[in-house]
Chains A and B, each alone.
Chain A
Amino acid sequence: MGADFLYPEFEVVRNPNRCVNCRICERQCSNGVHGWDAKTKTMTQDDAKCVDCQRCVAMCPTRALKIVKSDCVFRENANWSNDAIREIHKQASTGGALLSSMGNPTTAPIYWDRLLINASQVTNPPVDPLREPMETRVFLGKKPNRIERGPDGKIVPKLEPQLELSVPIMFAAMSYGSISLNAHAALARAATELGILYNTGEGGLREDFYQYGPNTVVQVASGRFGVHEDYLRAGVAIEIKMGQGAKPGIGGHLPGEKIVGDVAKTRMIPEGADAVSPAPHHDIYSIEDLRQLVLSLKEATEYRKPIIVKVAAVHNIAAIASGIARSGADVIAIDGWRGGTGAAPTRIRDNVGIPVELALAAVDQRLRDEGIRNDVSLIVGGSVRSASDLVKAIALGADACYIGTATLIALGCRMCRTCRSGKCNWGIATQRPELVERLDPEIGRKRLVNLVSAWKLELAEMMGGMGINSVEALRGNRLMLRGVGLTEKELEVLGVSCAGE
Chain B
Amino acid sequence: MTIIDASNLDHREINDKIREAGEEMTIRGCLGQRFIATGASDKKIAIEGVPGNALGSYLNGATIDVRGNAQDAVGDTMNDGTIIVRGDVRDVAGYAARRGRIYVRGNAGYRVGVHMKAYEDKSPLIVVGGRAGSFLGEYQAGGSIVVLGLGIGDKPLVGDFPCAGMHGGKMWLRCAPDRVRFPNQVLARRIEESERAELRALIADYCRVFDLDLDETTSGAFTVVVPNASNPYRQLRVDN
Contacts and interface: CB of A to CB of B under 8 A. Distances in A.
5 contacts: A223-B96, A224-B77, A227-B58, A253-B233, A270-B118
Given A282-B115, A282-B138, A99 B238 contact: yes
Interface string B54-78: 1001101000000000001100110
A229 B141 contact: no
A73 to B, nearest CB: 16
Contact of B77 (A99, A227, A292): A227
Contact of A228 (B58, B115, B142, B168): B58
Contacts of B92: 282-283
Given A276-B139, A283-B76, 18 more contacts: A96-B237, A99-B238, A224-B77, A228-B98, A232-B39, A256-B231, A268-B98, A269-B118, A273-B167, A274-B233, A276-B141, A282-B114, A283-B72, A283-B91, A283-B95, A292-B34, A296-B54, A299-B57
A425 interface: no
A295 B238 contact: no
Contacts of A270: 117-119, 141-142, 168
B95 A282 contact: yes
B139 A295 contact: no
Contacts of B239: 90, 99, 418, 420-421
Contact of A98 (B118, B142, B240): B240
Interface in A206-246: 222-224, 227-229, 232
Interface in B201-223: none
B236 A97 contact: yes
Chain A CB within 10 Å — which of B139, B239, B240 has the most? B240
Contact of A94 (B95, B141, B236): B236
Contacts of B34: 292, 295-296
Interface string B7-42: 000011001000000000000000000110011010
Contacts of A96: 236-238
Given A100-B240, A276-B141, A276-B167, A256 B233 contact: no
B141 A269 contact: yes
A94 B239 CA distance: 10
B39 A299 contact: yes
Contacts of B230: 256, 272-274
A162 interface: no
B42 to A, nearest CB: 12
Contacts of B233: 253, 274, 276
B186 to A, nearest CB: 14
Interface in A252-266: 253, 255-256
B115 A98 contact: no
B58 A296 contact: yes
Contact of B76 (A99, A276, A296, A421): A296
Interface of B is mostly: loop
A296 B57 CA distance: 7
Contacts of A299: 11-12, 15, 35, 38-39, 57
Contact of B39 (A94, A229, A268, A292): A229
Contacts of A227: 58, 77, 96
A469 interface: no
A292 B73 contact: yes
Considering residues A98, A100, A232, A273, which has the most beta carbons from chain B within 10 angstroms of its beta carbon?
A273
Nearest to A346: B240
A278 interface: yes
A273 B142 contact: yes
Contacts of A232: 39, 58
A303 B15 CA distance: 12
Contact of A282 (B111, B119, B167, B235): B111
Given A292-B34, A299-B11, A300-B57, A98 B165 contact: no
A96 B237 CA distance: 4
A440 interface: no
Contact of A223 (B115, B231, B237): B115
Contacts of A95: 236
A100 B168 CA distance: 28
B238 A300 contact: no
Contacts of B144: none
A42 interface: no
B237 A283 contact: no
A94 B238 CA distance: 7
Interface in B172-194: none
A100 B238 CA distance: 9
B39 A300 contact: yes
Interface in A265-296: 268-270, 272-274, 276, 278, 282-283, 292, 295-296
Contact of B237 (A98, A222, A268): A98
A453 interface: no
A272 B167 CA distance: 11
A269 B236 CA distance: 24
A87 interface: yes
A227 to B, nearest CB: 5
B82 interface: no
Contacts of A345: 237
Nearest to A343: B237
Contacts of A229: 39, 41, 58, 60, 79
Contacts of A224: 77, 95-96, 115
A268 B98 CA distance: 8
Interface in B112-137: 114-115, 117-119, 135
A372 B117 CA distance: 39
Nearest to B79: A228
Contact of A268 (B12, B119, B135, B236): B119
B53 interface: yes
A232 B77 CA distance: 12
Contacts of B168: 270, 273
A355 B167 CA distance: 36
B234 interface: yes
Give 7 nearest A-B pairs by CB, closest first. A96-B238, A224-B96, A98-B240, A299-B38, A99-B237, A96-B236, A228-B79
Given A96-B237, A282-B111, A283-B72, A295 B35 contact: yes
B142 A255 contact: no
Given A296-B76, A299-B15, A268 B117 contact: yes
Given A97-B235, A228-B98, A282-B92, A292 B111 contact: no
B204 to A, nearest CB: 25
